[in-house]
Amino acid sequence: MANLQVVTAQETVSIPLKSGATLLHLIQTESVPWGFNCLRGTCARCRCQVLSGQDGLQPPTEAEELRLRKKELAEGFRLACQAIVKDVEEDIIIQYTPYR
Ligand code: FES
Interatomic CA distance for residues 30 and 95, integer angstroms: 15
Q: Give the H/E segment covering residue 63.
A: helix 62-67
Please report the pLDDT score of residue 53 as a whole number. Answer: 97
Which residues are near ligand 1 (CB < 6 Å)?
36-39, 41-46, 79, 81
Residue in 35, 55, 33, 54 with CA at minimum distance from that of residue 45: 35
Residues 16-29: tens digit of each pLDDT: 999 999 999 999 99
pTM here is 0.95
Residue in 80, 34, 31 with CA at minimum distance from that of residue 57: 80
User: For residue 64, what are the contacts with CB-CB under 8 A and spacing of at least 6?
Assistant: 41, 73, 78, 79, 82, 83
Record: fold of 3-96:
Ubiquitin-like (UB roll) (3.10.20)
For residue 38, give the ligand 1 atom closest to its CA.
2
CA of 91 to the centre of ligand 1 (A): 23
